[in-house]
Chain A
Amino acid sequence: MLIPAAYALVKIGRVAWMPVDGALNGPVIDRLMWWNLMALCAIAVAGHLWLAFAMLRRRPAAKSLPAAVRWILLAGFCAMYTWMALTAQNLWAATRFEGPSLTAMRVEVVGEQFQWYFRYPGPDATFGVTRPQLVNAAAGNPLGIDPRDVNGRDDVVSSVLVLPAGREVDLQLRSLDVIHGFFIPGMRLKENAVPGLALHVHFTPEKVGTYPILCSQVCGLGHDRMQARLMVVSAADYAKWFAAREQAREASE
């Protein structure tokens, strides 16, 4: 317990155990997490020192702890709780209260037992209509995109989430069957994919790299196998990848 604690002290703002974070607001979250953990650990240790002192004190004191001490302690804790609530609230509001910027790129994430699909709207920036009756993974249409819809013609479906670094992305989370949890630890991002709802989260990936995507809500037998990869690449690489996928789609039609 002491060794990780010491390790964590080495770098302020960086919690040793957490994976490298690659999002724009990642460091802010990590710093907040670090301060919270440090404060709470310190209090836990202090509390136990108090307990140890009380247990070792053989002769009972004549007077009990003055009420003033208790009130001061309470005031201190209330101040800490207030600070925690407000700092976290700022972060929460910044990431969730407002929608994505209008220039954000859109990707649809669809969870299904036990697979994540990612759909890009293509050059027309509009997702094609999907019909559940048309869902047929074996025939190459796992999301049930309606072929009669013009907007769906340029949609690209992928099982890897590829994003260009530095661009805000608005994810639309859907699920076909049960509640799944869309979790990218490296982006400090988590939101459930609830069937019947289309939920939105937005973030900006910064650091190039590959990040695991996990399912964080138990969804059945293959829950622990329901994983995908987020690949954050440069803008040029992204354009190349997307072009290659479009060609592949056209070739298969």
Chain B
Amino acid sequence: MRRGLARVFTTDHRRLGILYLYLALAAVAVGTTLSLLMRFHRVWPNAVLPFFGVITPEDYLALVTMHGTLMIFFVLTTAPQSGFANLVLPEQIGAKGMAFPRVNAIAFWLTVAAFLVLISAAHITAGGAPISGWTSYPPLSALPAAGPGQGLGMDLWLVSIGIFCIAAWLSAVNMLATILGERRAGMTWTRLPMTVWAWLVASILTLLAFAVLLAAVVLLFSDRHFGSSFFIPMNDMIDGRIVGHGDGSPLLWLHLFWFFGHPEVYIAVLPGMGLATSLFANFTRRRVAGYTMMAGMLVAIGLLGLAVWGHHMFVSGMNPYAGTAFAMVTMAIAVPSTVEVIGWLATLWGGGLRLQTPMLFALGFLSFFIVGGLSGPLLAQPALDAYLHNTFFVVAHFHLIMAMAGVFGVFAGVYYWFPLMTGRLMNEALGKVHFWVSLIAAYGTFLPMHFAGLAGEPRHYDRLTGPATNFSRLIPLERGITYSALLLAATQLVFLWNVFMSARRGQAAGVNPWESTTLEWANGTEPCRIERGPYEYELPQGEGGFHPQWEAVAKQE
């Protein structure tokens, strides 16, 4: 019994990493199911679903809110960062473990608690889950009378996010202390694998951003329960009753939330970028083109990412001059991202790619990063964003660049580090099927949304026909999107089957199956001092020769 408990409440970072991945798996399963319900409803609004009944408008908005919250917090902030970093970060820097193993474990269990509280918001409350979206703008989110689910459901949402903020803070502290203090002798900044740079920047962003979100959540909770008016303006009315008694500012919430919200999306995508760099080096058998520049660009993206939050608020009532300022900085952040992409494309240019599944998913990451990222500079222009804000164009943009790229980064990590977790390889054929069908289905799902957005279709609409407008000409488009989404979801079953079958009966992996240079693949014979860079793959022919980081530099070199 005691041993069982010790296994569950482990402080071993490898096991914690796998536990985080399991949590993310549970969250993505729920989140994907919710999104499929949304897609169903948009095309067949009157369908009676088994176990669910008919999806009512408040159901739809609740689905949207829960889907966004689950995916962004419990999938994209946990798996790429806490999940994989716990799995391999200490090994990659030559450390024995994380700096604070018990804090690490506490952070995980707090995340689990936050997840359970969030799920309860949808199920144990009379009003149901909140309907104000993952961004929960007040006064809609500040006034329980403003809508169904905005009572206890909203409170539970706030509590869940509050717990998550504390868990994220602890996790970031742990990660930063590890990266800064636990590197082995010789593991200098320029010898760090790119994944470690990405986790470093993402951890700094986590530390700064989630603290601000926690403050905003505390203030909103106070507005809801302690009669304050941080966000509720004077004489605000609901249902004909005046409820606003103080001079609050809804825009304050937008500023606080998006000061968190924008770094959050970089937290979601930076680990994938670091992993992509590593995998491209590994599977092209080439050194990273411009390593210092690539690492520097990750830092630049992180820093600039703290200064662009206003681009979510161009048409929210913010001063137009501020809009210009934010637009300029947002356009500027396109530059380091472009440098990264050019760096990757340059690394790939030489050809001779080993197209094994992890590499395919890294290439898929790059594909989504390009397509999703390119709509960014368009949306960064306030004059154009004035039309596209809160339409499906934005939905297409962030799903491609964050959801699909981020998730493909997670897939790449799972396929790549599977041998470390289980000693076996995942099945290549199934992996290739998973990759190609997912790629095509994902584009089939999200590319057409650009057109819906250009047609002016707003977000959060559960029906396509209304009193004044008729988007029914988009129904064939919506149907196509729904079929693609179903295909995309279904093909993940192939992945799950592959994971669980290969864990038991997969081909034995050997020590360094991908012939990688980074330290997590060392089999325990590493020296006291690191003397090599992270990606010492041999040129010119790119085959055969490579110097793992744990190999000592020969004396006569």
Contacts and interface: CB of A to CB of B under 8 A. Distances in A.
A81 B290 CA distance: 22
Contact of A195 (B131, B236, B371): B236
Given A70-B346, A178-B139, A227-B466, A60 B541 contact: yes
Interface stretch (B99-107, B164-172, B447-455, B527-535): B447-455
Contacts of A60: 284-285, 350-352, 541-543
A230 to B, nearest CB: 9
A36 B140 contact: no
A228 interface: yes
**Interface residues on chain B, size class:** 35 or more
B317 A220 contact: no
A196 B246 CA distance: 10
Contacts of A92: 320, 323-324, 327, 381-383, 386
Interface in A189-233: 189-192, 194-197, 199, 212-225, 227-229
Interface string B483-495: 0000000000000
Interface stretch (B201-209, B457-465, B510-518): B457-465
Contacts of A183: 390, 456, 458
A24 interface: no
Given A85-B331, A132-B237, A185-B387, A194 B317 contact: yes
Interface in A82-100: 82, 84-85, 87-89, 91-93, 95-97
Interface stretch (A39-47, A118-126, A245-253): A39-47
Contact of B355 (A55, A85, A93): A55
Chain A interface size, as a band, is: 35 or more
B343 A70 contact: yes
B236 A196 contact: yes
Contacts of A218: 61, 64, 131-133, 137, 140, 459-460
Nearest to A136: B240
A105 interface: no
A181 B315 contact: yes
A132 B469 contact: no
B154 to A, nearest CB: 12
B247 interface: yes
Nearest to B448: A1
Interface in B300-337: 315-317, 320-321, 323-324, 327-328, 331, 334-335
Given A60-B285, A92-B327, A217-B137, A55 B383 contact: no
A181 B343 CA distance: 40
Contact of B250 (A36, A58, A73, A194): A194
B131 A228 contact: no
A194 B468 contact: no
Interface string B70-81: 000000000000
Interface of B: 57-58, 61, 64, 131-133, 137-140, 143, 146-148, 233-240, 242, 244, 247-251, 284-286, 289-290, 315-317, 320-321, 323-324, 327-328, 331, 334-335, 338-339, 341-343, 345-353, 355, 363, 366-367, 370-371, 374-375, 377-378, 380-384, 386-387, 389-391, 447, 451-452, 454-456, 458-463, 466-469, 539-543
15 contacts: A15-B454, A17-B454, A33-B387, A64-B350, A64-B539, A77-B335, A82-B331, A178-B138, A179-B316, A181-B315, A190-B386, A194-B317, A212-B469, A213-B468, A224-B458
